[in-house]
Structure 1
């Protein structure tokens, strides 16, 4: 006689309506299936797979949760455009900074959707991606996006301006597509990432013109009477980014101990305006030593800010920022750029970007023989390869100096005796 299972056991195996089903396949993998919202305001049954029951169940739960929030969950038979919309607003938005998310959206709207958006995700091939990227390199974007609606301008009157994308922008668009398809692979929507199989030419590094030591001294001398003199001192002597300088709080500084803790950055975002965010990367969070000149400039700046506070009275904005407007409000990064250009013009120096002050710091340090590891920690680079790659031209110059020094030692001289050997090289 067969013993009936307890009712509680049967109930524990019963899943609620809408939760989907889950079972183990013959190949050992677990498969979960359920209905989700698909593009076109329809519902579609999707299947996900995992090595364990919990893995498969987690994937299905994420899809159902996104569907309940009204986000269409793209499937392999949906279009590339639909999947990119799902990935951008349902996945990438949770781990990207707002400005990065905006740039991703622009790449999708302006380039990926017009070029690949109508294709089925499951039928997208490596050749499709390669042909699309080749088209970006060779096609005038005014013609492709019909920007010239004014009949007096180039493309509208049949005289193409040949405005093509730079290699760096093409590489960026390719990177956005690779990230989206990589997520489709992780969700078992695609067997492989076809965009990863396309090799693009490495764009040439952006050329920058850092200040020489003489130009840096000239800039600091011109900034002596500027109310932001301490900011320029910090930028040149420590290599801090513009956002890190503007997001610096007084509580981050230890003027007695001569250190600064960098863990915030001021950025302008579309939704919140000027806002203080975390630094660019985890490696950007660092503690740096402050030069004596910077400590003295910051003490003078602190006294000056206290005087401005008294002058502003009740209109002063209390936010704890080191560098503010005369009424205590955060400094806009765009206004700082324009102010910096006027300073360069007044000092009769060539026009450079504000970010080139950071490059100037690293270049001058390298030329003084400071090691790459120290410069990496000071600048907050994630990997030393970034530091070595950006400043390769400086390292070549130092190599030339080293080779010339060795050449002078090997060239024949009037001295017959060799200098004493300091140590044995093994």
Structure 2
């Protein structure tokens, strides 16, 4: 008679469940030991980018990765600090030129905190950041042209701020990975400033001919 081997408590397991729409999905469950020696059960239904596991194999791979992560030396428990609260602390410690700091704080106030500020640091994912960037490109302006989208260059600058702030959060051991590394902001090529095309002598002559008869500022 063959006896089925039972998993040890710390080995973890994969389980199958059915969503409200009848779809089959998989989750992972394991136990980790905290710094004070107590045990904590971890239960997850989705990956770090909020994507469900649709096969047992992908869930098993995720279980192995998760257990290796939480058991490695220096593992950081996801922080409950909100992204907005962290941004305030991070921005206050910047050592940049006043104009750069002012621009950074303006983007945090107008764009980042209204959209992402209430989220815990641990809840930020590459997918959420990518969706945020798309939203800015669609209706991100907050000036007299509110409702229009920001330029690719402006959105990439916002991404630079988000990435640098989260990189510092990683250094401060508040998160275990930088979700901005997995986001999709506008590319450097898309964000490149339009090429300057100065007038040719022919263009200038055409303009001066027109202004001589049509503009009171022609002499200037």
Q: 1:205 Cα deviation (Å)?
A: 2.3
Question: d(CA) in 1 for partners of 2:128 and 2:199?
Answer: 47
In structure 1, distance between residues paired with 2:138 and 2:199 = 38
Secondary structure (helix, strand or coil) at the match of 1:206 reads: coil
Deviation at 1:198, TM superposition (A): 0.8
Cα deviations by residue, 1:67-117 (Å, 9 ceiling, x for unpaired) = xxxxxxxx9211110000000002x2x2x1111000100110000000000
In structure 1, distance between residues paired with 2:198 and 2:126: 44
Aligned to 1:44: none
For 1:189 and 1:129, locate their aligned partners in 2 and report how far apart those are by CA, in whole Å.
18
Quote the residue 1:79 is aligned against.
82
Larger RCO, structure (CA 8 Å, separation 6 or more): 2
Superposed displacement of residue 199, structure 1: 2.2
Shift in CA distance, 140/194, structure 1 to aligned 2, threshold 3 Å? closer
2:160 to 168, 172, 175: 175
Which residue does 1:206 correspond to in 2? 193
Matched, 1:190 2:203: no
Cα separation, partners in 2 of 1:205 and 1:105, compared to 1, 3 Å = same
**141, 146, 149: which one aligns with 1:164:** 149
Q: Is the 8 A contact 2:153 2:186 kept in 1?
A: no
Query: How many Å separate the matches in 2 of 1:107 and 1:135?
Result: 14
Aligned length: 130
Partner in structure 2 of residue 18 of structure 1: none
Distance 1:180 1:346 in 2: 51
Q: Partners in 1 of 2:134 and 2:169 — Cα distance?
A: 24
Structure 1 counterpart of 2:113 = 113
Residues 1:194 and 1:162: Cα distance change in structure 2 (over 3 Å): same
Task: Detail structure 1 runs of 4+ shifted over 6 Å in the superposition.
Answer: 212-215, 345-348
Matches within 5 A, 1:284-363: none
Cα shift readout 1:202-228 (whole Å, capped 9, x = no counterpart) = 22422243658979xxxxxxxxxxxxx
Query: 2:82 & 2:170 partners in 1: Cα distance?
Result: 15
SS at match of 1:141: coil
Q: Secondary structure at the match of 2:133?
A: helix
Instruction: Structure 1: state its 5+ residue gaps.
Output: 1-24, 26-49, 52-74, 149-153, 155-160, 216-344, 349-426
Distance in 1 (alpha carbons) for counterparts of 2:198 and 2:87: 43
Structure 2: unaligned runs, 5 residues or longer: 1-34, 36-72, 203-216
Question: Is structure 2 residue 125 aligned with structure 1 residue 129?
Answer: no
What pairs with 1:207-222 in structure 2 (closer than 5 Å)?
207-209=194-196
Partner Cα distance (1:191, 1:141) in 2? 32
Query: How far does the alpha carbon of each residue in 1:332-388 deviate from its partner, in whole angstroms, 9 at most, with x for none?
Result: xxxxxxxxxxxxx9898xxxxxxxxxxxxxxxxxxxxxxxxxxxxxxxxxxxxxxxx
Within 5 A, what are the aligned runs for 1:143-158? none
Residue in structure 1 matched with residue 20 of structure 2 by the alignment: none
Give the structure with the larger helix fraction: 1
Change (3 A) 1:140 1:110: closer
